[in-house]
Amino acid sequence: MELHFEELLGKITDFMKAEANTETVVGKQFELGEFKCVPVIKVGMGFGSGGGEGTEAKSKKGQGMGAGAGVGIEPIGFLVTKGDQISFLEAGKTHGLAAAFEKVPDLIEKITRNRKAEETVA
């Protein structure tokens, strides 16, 4: 039995590239009024493999192999833009994405206040 670790690693990496993205974990970019919201995730990956073979005294041969991979994906927040302004809304560790959505109205109000203040000064 021939071991093809490079081929196996390539297949695992291709799978992770296809699956470990914001669209499969959180969703696509969306618009909320004048705001564009882009989800942001953190991805961690680990790989391991091993193999070996041996021979017993009576010419019995054996070999074995194993491979494994793990991935951890965590939504961490949203990049929110309006015009030329950009902000990052962090998803709270205790509340997940719900915390980010709870902050959107506050962000809208803050940007509106800043814009009105700029218009008053100008």
**C-beta atoms surrounding 30 within 10 Å:** 11
Q: Tell me the pLDDT band of 3, cut-offs 50, 70 and 90.
A: low
DSSP string, 22-56: HHHHT---EEETTEEEEEEEEEEEEEEEEEEEEE-
**Tens of pLDDT, residues 85-113:** 888 888 765 555 666 666 777 778 888 88
Integer Cα distance of 79 and 65 in angstroms? 43
Q: What is the pTM of this model?
A: 0.48
Among residues of the chain, what percentage have pLDDT more than 70? 84
**Tens of pLDDT, residues 57-90:** 777 888 887 877 787 888 888 888 888 888 888 8
| Cα separations in angstroms, 34 against 29, 108, 113 | 13, 9, 15
CA angle 11, 12, 14 (to 5 degrees): 65
Q: Tell me the pLDDT band of 34, cut-offs 50, 70 and 90.
A: confident
